[in-house]
Structure 1
Amino acid sequence: MDENIYQHFRKAEAPFINQIADWLQDVSDQYRPYLTDFLDPRQQYIVEAIVGEKGDTHYAFEGGYVAAERKRALLYPAYFTPEQDDFAISLFEIHYPVKFSTLSHGKILGTLLNAGIRRDVFGDIMTDGQRWQFFVVANMASYVQSQITKIGRIRVRLEKKDYTELLMPKDAWTLEHTATNSLRIDNLVSSVYNISRKRSKGLVENGKIKLNWQVFERPDFELGLRDIISVRGFGRIQLREIEGKTKKDKYRLLLGVLRK
């Protein structure tokens, strides 16, 4: 791996960059595809930037549906043509007593993690307002199905579904353009949700904000491309593009926004 690559990313991302280098070496040595577990959007961006489109190794992403946030990456030699089955993704629907109980993204996520299942083993968790589904790597499907029988105190049953039975997710990102003085987390939260900087800073410092699904408590941290911040009680923000600067030296941004 070219040492100059590291300077374009955060220091904390160096281990993931090293992992990509190992994947690329595996494809080169074995001359066969390499399939990753589920990656978050920031990790997908790093794969795109490092693998590129002009080398001997190519890449493709699949998360189960077009608008998926979390996706598996397939790195493959030039001779190979990827198909959907190559991504080995299983879809589950959660059956539960709808009339007497409610589920939430947080409850489902917490149950999966508490069962000892790594976050990168499963993809998006989706709902249409009543039904719930989620994706998992195919070689872990049987284990997940056997382990998850309750979510909280609610008895549940996981049923494998075909892609043709995918529900229509209720949440949808909207694209918004904005201009801002900085890429700091507290600044963007304040701007998008129209709250004071003091309040947005407090949300970060009190653990109410997650960066790429991890609790993050640095309000002065600057977002990078594809980063997603989740703001408890407000929704989510993703930095899609940095489109340049205005005449007043502000950043022109394209954001994906989910509002509660």
Structure 2
Amino acid sequence: MDKNALIEHIKDKNQHLTMRRVLDKLERVVGKYSIEFTDFLDPYQRKLCYSFINRFQEVSFFEDGGLENSERKSIIIFPSYMDRSDVLSPIQALRIDGSFKFRELTHRDYLGAIMSLGIKREKIGDILIHKDYGNIITFKEIADYIKFNLDMINREPVVITEVESFELEEAQDDFIEKSLTLSSFRLDVFVSAICNLSREKSSSLIKNGYVKVNWQTIDLISKEVHENDMISIRGFGRTKVSMILGKTRKDRYKVVVKIIK
């Protein structure tokens, strides 16, 4: 398997290490007829993976992240002669209960507590935050470790139990809707308006790899942003371009965004 040739079309060098790890797993499926699964990957990473996995007719695959609309999913790869129903998913969902009525925990609280256990981000899928509890999607192989070691989140005692995927409910994004008036759809213009920064500072964030559009790192300040794009800015969170409403009398663009907390 010529791994260099399989990923040479991927221009995003930041993803090459992740893609090589997936290729290692793919190689084991092809050569040893094993069943392998990737770390949790975002939609952009999965798209890159499929650009080379689809070249191998001797393998089949499916993806799982707990819910159909999960953002982060693992790709499960197995020999094509096997039936999909015979391949078990490696995913395990956990429910986190605590006295959350006294303190509202955030996505960052959950993730920070898990990573403080020495667990890497790629081993955790979506974190679903509900009013009275939370769900963490992870792998079966580390679920017990989390259950027995995570007893507190942001100084709040928690109890962790395993749940089945069919018990999961989609979490509603907690967001602030904001109207913007922009001179153009350039990425630096959006970043400047979202973060309330100068164009110079916004351009610096983009050029230094701090900004992603649809999970892909973009370093081109003139990149055009479209409706429904997700913009992630390190240190400032995520914003979805909800609606583009058209032009004002002064020939500027009216845009509605959702700033996700």
Q: Do both proteins adopt the same fold according to a TM-score greater than 0.5, normalized to the shorter chain? A: yes
Once residues 157 and 110 of structure 1 are traced to their aligned partners in structure 2, the CA distance between those partners, rounded to angstroms, is 17
Corresponding residue of 1:59: 61
Aligned length: 227
Which moves more between the two structures, 141-150 or 120-129?
120-129
Listed as ranges, the matches of 1:1-260 within 5 Å are 1=3, 3=5, 5-52=7-54, 55-83=57-85, 86-171=88-173, 184=187, 186-189=188-191, 198=199, 201=202, 204=205, 211=212, 220=221, 229-231=231-233, 235-237=238-240, 258-260=258-260
Aligned equivalents of 2:212 and 2:158: distance in 1?
A: 30
Gaps of 5+ in 1: 174-179, 239-256
Q: Take 1:234 and 1:199, find their aligned partners in 2: how far apart are those partners?
A: 19
Call closer, same or farther: CA 1:237–1:80 in 2, change over 3 Å.
farther
Residue identity in the other structure for 2:239? R
Letter in 2 for 1:122: I
Name the larger-Rg structure: 2
Query: How much does 1:195 deviate?
Result: 6.5
Residue 176 of structure 1: aligned partner: none
Asked whether the equivalents of residues 38 and 122 of structure 1 are also in contact (C-alpha less than 8 Å), the reply is: yes
Q: Distance in 1 between matches of 2:143 and 2:156?
A: 21
Which aligned runs of 4 or more in structure 1 are off by greater than 6 angstroms?
194-197
Q: TM-score, normalised by structure 1?
A: 0.71
SS in 2 for 1:133: strand
Give the deviation of 1:259 after TM superposition. 3.4
The TM-score with structure 2 as length reference comes to 0.71
Q: Which moved more, 1:29-38 or 1:136-145?
A: 29-38
Q: Distance in 1 between matches of 2:90 and 2:222?
A: 36
Query: What displacement does 1:26 show?
Result: 0.5
Structure 2: distance between partners of 1:197 and 1:31: 55
SS across alignment from 1:90:
strand
Deviation at 1:170, TM superposition (A): 0.8
* Distance in 2, Cα, partners of 1:217 & 1:25: 30
- Give the whole-Å Cα distance in 1 for the aligned partners of 2:109 and 2:204: 21
Q: Deviations over 1:143-202 (max 9, x none)?
A: 0111111112111111211223213311299xxxxxx766x5x355458x5977628707
Q: Report the alpha carbon displacement of residue 140 of structure 1 after superposing the two structures with TM.
A: 0.5
Counterpart-to-counterpart distance in 2, 1:98 and 1:41: 31
Counterpart-to-counterpart distance in 2, 1:60 and 1:88: 12
Contact 1:204 1:217 in 2 (8 A): no
% identical equivalent positions: 22
**Contact 1:61/1:74 (<8 A) preserved:** yes
CA contact (8 A) 1:27 1:33 kept: yes
Q: Could you list the runs of 5+ residues in structure 2 that have no partner in the other structure?
A: 176-183, 242-256
> Residue 149 of structure 1 contacts residue 155 of structure 1 at CA under 8 Å; is this kept in 2?
yes
Q: Structure 1 residue 258: deviation in Å?
A: 4.9
What is the CA RMSD across the aligned residues, in angstroms? Answer: 3.8
8 A Cα contact 1:6 1:14, kept in partner: no
